[in-house]
Chain A
């Protein structure tokens, strides 16, 4: 029983420190600058909660202190039903009150009129929450969790309960609170009062909903255009992806390994780069355009700038993703099904159409929905190619940064975009759930996939080979483009762009990064290095809870976490601005908001990887560890994590790379101090400095390739072994413990 006392003491210690030892409110110059130490604890800005409550008349903080004291008092009792109830109640009350008072009292006083009429006007508002508030919130959460643990909830496992509680709390703050704020923001005017007129005006805006292209001669509304684009892009990338998957698994195509390499391209390529390369090829000054103009006298047109160009760029960008999804699906079709079909007198053609393809249907639908969501969320390609024919994600951006500056319009557009992506996500989860025919039967499922019918085989090669060549040309353009002085006008080769971006000098023995790119480059690496381990940790912890623990609402928990995957980056970006610009939480312009954004946007991928890897670990390993007196924390550290090393490395690398290459959310959140590489490049593109932009992009791609290769080599062997097998989600007999069990 002493274990429960010890952990409770730690939780209470944290809370106590939060109340008396650090400033309650946010410090303007940053907590770690430590400027606040000189005025601590008496200063009205720097004081801890206790001082704020006593000498600065902040009675809400006094209430928080009192609630905390109730938890403190519980420590004096022995473990009992009373103590556990008290802890749960104090923790829950504390966190609820903390949140409520934070939301209710803004800079100038009450934010809600109802509280003003209830409690009377406040003489002072309050700044944003700071270190003290954070520690006390943590303490309250732990308090409740430990109380629940003492009551035997979840087999009395304090670590598991606190992890769940903390994750829910963090996801609420960094996913649901911003999205909620955005919804509210749609109904607010600039001063924050309720004003539905902006919402009403925007939701009826014909530029969003117009159906002119169907019934009249004009253009359709932006919502319809985005939807059309997403459907076309999803369809295109699914079809091409299927061709790739078939070629890679069912033919004797000689460069299969090379095809698989394609799948890492979208991860390492900043999302606007394909669009950029297309401009270099087909833009008005593009190579192809100019050649056609010279040879055949075809007038250089602007056809690329608009939905056509975006569509091409998106199909190019998302084909590797759908290839990755479909390769598992195609390989997952049990060969014995096809063999059975053949013994039943069906020829190859009939076997493919009647057996193989229907078995792949759920997988195809899944790939389609992923492509749909990706297209909806894509920001980089529409930004460089869209011109005046924008899509929802870019319109949101221009609604806040452009001359319009209409947050209500941005919120409405974001809500529409969110509606589309969440519908697709729901369709994917609800409609496709349990419909997978990927027949993973484990042992005894040998046999070979039959060859494709000849005409089909020729057909898919006719798609795949040109497409691969096209992709190669595109990437060739990116690398070549950085060495050309002025694209289309002056095609002399030069190192000028690289020198401008990445020069450094030695002067008087001092080393200086003089290139224009270095500043954003190092910021990017720094932020990515901070967020990658956090993302991996949060993702794998979540995976552990989802796979290994049974608790009430587990499905809802998983669903909510995975849902953040379907929230487009632009929506996250705009909602973060709306949520974290004013008390109770103020983070815009800091590195923290970038890190938070990356962690909660990329976490679902860590979760998926972790879930897949953990499902391969026999549950009895954890249970054995528990019955051997280890806590779940020790179990995780000593048993699960070492066995999950490949998944951890994958999550680390992936979240690092994603942090470096993503743009959609980042572009809203960067500041002069913390500018990221991608948003800097987009800035270059907008200024027409294609040379430097392309040079910088290729540099990023090369850095990413180096990093991925490095980690591949580090954990290479196991991954390689897995790739040679028929790679389904579960690989029988590939993991050591299964060998041990057999």
Chain B
């Protein structure tokens, strides 16, 4: 399982309607071969529908889908060169692990011996050699997950689809398995489309992230771009948390923009900011509570929660209630304490400008 031919994916103005409900509005998307692209969004945003259309489990109402340059819009699922890892893994409970992995190869009319040796190779790739004769129910959650990946990968699909593959694992295992999946993808170099609603997972595994909202693409880009330059308050709040604060852009000046928040001026990165009313997204860890600089403004602690390695505060200010993450756990500010608020320029992005 080393040659993964081509593997580009194109969605060309795809619409999907269920009855009167439009799940996807004119989606256009281009996925480069060999990359891992995440479809990220809240539930109901259309990310799973998009994935299922790519798999052939749903057919678009209009528009075209191309895989590896070939139009597959009307092709049934079983004739497409993709394979899928399901959220529930969907391992066939009445078949052994090996039978599960062989299943797809035999469906593709491969001869039995070759299918078997390929399947054993596949199990070895995911570190499950020797588990072939077990039933899925006899494996742990993480092992089942790897069987599901092996079962999909032995078909050497142009594109591997993963539908929330980690959601059935506990938090600790999730971190390990996502690293494994990313390593496998980079080692074998296949294209992968990965659906999740967990932004941290998306940031950790992706080459690119496509954030979806209400059946359309809200923003796409590398993890860093999305985090550092969110295009809207929705993105800012979805990828990492953010305080959205109204502001006014006064002028922009060589990559820096001078903005006014709560009567005070700040200098923040913002290449193309136009003068006028806007908003800023401020990361909770970019707010300091003991600012000494001139731009500091007053606030009052409303609620504090100690979480071991950091403290979360809600702070009442004239710019609204701010959510603050403070790594200084020893400071121990109690409610009603007055603080002096400052913004760290690196954690501020101008949005809705």
Contact = CB atoms under 8 A, between A and B. Distances in A.
Interface of A: 3, 151-152, 155-157, 618, 620-621, 623-632, 634, 638-639, 642-643, 735-737, 739-742
Contact of A620 (B73, B76, B88, B152): B88
Interface in B167-197: 168
Those 9 A-B pairs whose CB atoms lie nearest each other, nearest first: A628-B104, A736-B93, A624-B90, A152-B74, A620-B90, A156-B76, A630-B107, A626-B77, A629-B107
Contact of A155 (B77, B89, B108, B137): B77
Given A623-B84, A739-B137, A740-B136, A629 B90 contact: no
Contact of A627 (B73, B78, B89): B78
Interface centre among B76, B86, B104, B108 (most CB of A within 10 A): B76
B151 A741 contact: no
A148 B17 CA distance: 20
A628 B107 contact: yes
Interface string B110-154: 000000000000000000000000011100000010000001100
7 contacts: A626-B78, A627-B55, A630-B104, A632-B78, A736-B94, A737-B93, A740-B88
A628 B155 contact: yes
B29 interface: no
Contacts of A634: 107
Interface centre among A157, A623, A634, A739 (most CB of B within 10 A): A623
A740 B144 CA distance: 8
Given A152-B59, A155-B76, A739-B137, A627 B88 contact: no
Given A629-B104, A629-B107, A623 B92 contact: no
Contact of A626 (B56, B87, B137): B56
Contact of A628 (B59, B103, B144, B168): B103
Given A740-B137, A741-B89, 11 more contacts: A623-B77, A623-B86, A624-B90, A626-B57, A628-B107, A629-B104, A629-B155, A634-B107, A736-B94, A737-B90, A739-B93
Contacts of B83: 627-628
B217 interface: no
B109 to A, nearest CB: 9
Give the secondary structure class of B's interface.
loop
B183 to A, nearest CB: 23
A623 B78 CA distance: 9
B58 interface: yes
A735 B108 contact: no
B79 interface: yes
A131 B56 CA distance: 39
B339 interface: no
B75 interface: yes
Contacts of B75: 156
Nearest to B81: A629
Contacts of B93: 643, 735-737, 739-740
Contacts of A624: 84, 86, 90-92, 151
Nearest to B103: A628
B351 interface: no
A152 B80 CA distance: 14
A739 B139 CA distance: 10
Contacts of A638: 92, 103
A735 B136 CA distance: 13
Contacts of B166: none
Given A628-B104, A628-B107, A740-B137, A156 B74 contact: yes
Interface string B242-280: 000000000000000000000000000000000000000
A78 to B, nearest CB: 14
A157 B92 CA distance: 22
Nearest to A741: B88
B168 A3 contact: no
Contacts of A626: 56-57, 76-78
Given A627-B83, A627-B84, A736 B58 contact: no
Interface centre among A156, A627, A737 (most CB of B within 10 A): A627
B315 interface: no
Nearest to A638: B103
Contact of B57 (A155, A621, A741): A155
A737 B77 CA distance: 22
Nearest to B58: A155
Contacts of B239: none
B231 interface: no
A7 to B, nearest CB: 12
A736 B137 contact: yes
A654 to B, nearest CB: 23
A629 B55 CA distance: 11
B151 A740 contact: no
Nearest to A550: B18
B144 to A, nearest CB: 6
B38 to A, nearest CB: 19
Contact of B56 (A3, A155, A740): A155
Contacts of B322: none
A623 B107 CA distance: 14
B39 interface: no
Contacts of B89: 740-741
Interface centre among A618, A639, A741 (most CB of B within 10 A): A741
Contact of B79 (A3, A618, A625, A639): A3
Contacts of B104: 628-630
Interface centre among B75, B78, B88, B107 (most CB of A within 10 A): B78
A630 B103 contact: yes
A481 B183 CA distance: 79
Nearest to A160: B76
Contacts of B84: 623-624, 627
A271 B324 CA distance: 76
Nearest to A156: B76
A628 B83 CA distance: 6
A153 to B, nearest CB: 9
B87 to A, nearest CB: 7
Contacts of B94: 642-643, 736
A627 B103 contact: no
Contacts of B82: 627
A642 to B, nearest CB: 5
A634 B56 CA distance: 17
B77 A627 contact: yes
Contacts of A739: 93, 137
A639 B92 contact: yes
A643 B75 CA distance: 28
A461 to B, nearest CB: 43
Nearest to A152: B74
Nearest to B80: A627
A618 B148 CA distance: 15
A434 B155 CA distance: 43
A112 to B, nearest CB: 41
A151 B83 CA distance: 23
Contacts of A3: 79
Contacts of A152: 59, 73-74
Contacts of A627: 55-57, 77-78, 80, 82-84, 152, 161
B57 A625 contact: no
A741 B89 CA distance: 7
A632 B79 CA distance: 11
Contacts of B87: 620
A144 B90 CA distance: 33
Contacts of A625: 92, 103, 107
Nearest to B92: A639
Contacts of B91: 624, 737, 740
Contacts of A639: 92
Given A618-B90, A643-B94, A737-B93, A629 B108 contact: yes
A626 B144 CA distance: 19
A634 B109 CA distance: 12
A742 B76 CA distance: 30
Contacts of A642: 94
A151 B75 CA distance: 10
Nearest to B104: A628
B101 to A, nearest CB: 10
